[in-house]
A = this chain, B = another copy of it.
Amino acid sequence: MTTAILGGIQQYLDEQRSRVDEALDRLVPSADAYPTTIHQAMRHSLFAGGKRLRPILCIEAGRLFGGDEESLLYMGSALELIHTYSLIHDDLPALDDDDLRRGKPTCHKAFGEAMAILAGDALLALAFEVLSAPGSIPARGLGLSRKLGIVHELAHAVGTQSGMVGGQVVDLESMGKKGDNATLEYIHSAKTAAFIRAAVRAGAIEAGAAEAGLDLISTYGEKAGMAFQIADDLLDLLGSKESLGKTAGKDPQQQKLTYPSLHGIDESWRRARQLVREANAALEPFGQRAHRLCDIATYLIARKS
């Protein structure tokens, strides 16, 4: 059954990814726009073959509540700008020190550290510029309130308090130390799940979801995000450089605190599957309308890269 689901979902993901790629190409200054180096650096990392999972999750969550397709695509693409900023900075020598990302040289390898730092900064700022752009705002008070709520949601999810930066800090500080489960849960929740949760919430808020619906989609995002990070840790441990497109086995080499390092491989798979079941259970009230989101959650832990 899983194989059948994966076949169907892969085609769907490929189609959605093409739409997001096209939207991103329109949002980011062209490679020959002055000053050219920074735009080339931004585009190098942005168009390195990302799966666009966060935009797709945002769009699909918005569809569940009847959101506008164009607005969702635009907003989802802004999420990918933020995600790419975080990858560029995480890869820097002072942080994870990665040379390869998606089979290509990381931003600082291709453009130098200064340009990589600035490209990350610029992508983060551009995301908020896009999210607040007048063109994307319906001329209604409610639309404005939603847009501002989404800016707030995403800015918080990037930050230090249960957001990406906070997760990255604890991740770095856990290296080489004997970790505990509470620290591990914080890292996964803040570094990965918070932004995936924010991605589906952003889509739902844009579509005008009521509080009860937002709660369900938040649970889905949180659980799916945690499962995603466990799968990421497992792929790092078990995958090859060829399938991953990045250096494999970096986590044990850097003595990182990961799910498999703390609980072992079998227990990690079990926990990831359980989290996906819990994520999808949260969407049961939506019935068949939520099948895409359920399939994506299944895909998150079945993927090979």
A interface with B by C-beta (< 8 Å)? 29, 33-35, 37-39, 42, 85, 89, 92, 94-95, 112-115, 117-118, 120-122, 124-126, 128-129, 131-134, 137, 141, 144-145, 147-149, 151-152, 155-156, 158-161, 163, 165-166, 168-170, 172-173
Contact = CB atoms under 8 A, between A and B. Distances in A.
B128 A155 contact: yes
A85 to B, nearest CB: 8
B155 A35 contact: no
A114 B172 contact: yes
A118 B165 contact: yes
Contacts of A112: 94
Given A39-B160, A121-B124, A152 B129 contact: yes
Contacts of A38: 160, 165-166, 169
A92 B121 contact: no
Given A94-B117, A144-B144, A147-B148, A169 B129 contact: no
A129 B155 CA distance: 5
Copies of this chain held together in the complex: 2
Contacts of A113: 94
Contact of A126 (B35, B95, B159): B159
B163 A125 contact: yes
A149 B155 CA distance: 16
A35 B132 contact: no
Nearest to A156: B129
Given A94-B117, A95-B117, A112-B94, A148 B155 contact: no
A3 to B, nearest CB: 40
21 contacts: A34-B166, A37-B173, A38-B160, A89-B117, A92-B114, A114-B172, A118-B165, A122-B160, A124-B124, A125-B158, A125-B159, A126-B160, A128-B128, A129-B159, A131-B151, A132-B151, A132-B155, A134-B152, A141-B144, A147-B148, A148-B151
Nearest to A141: B141
A131 to B, nearest CB: 8
Nearest to A148: B132
A29 B160 contact: yes
Contact of A148 (B115, B148, B165): B148
Given A126-B155, A144-B144, 13 more contacts: A33-B161, A35-B173, A38-B166, A89-B121, A115-B169, A117-B117, A118-B168, A122-B165, A125-B156, A132-B155, A134-B152, A144-B145, A144-B148
Q: For A112, A122, A160, A173, which residue has the most chain B Cβ atoms within 10 angstroms?
A: A160
Nearest to A41: B169
A69 to B, nearest CB: 22
Given A151-B132, A151-B151, A121 B118 contact: no
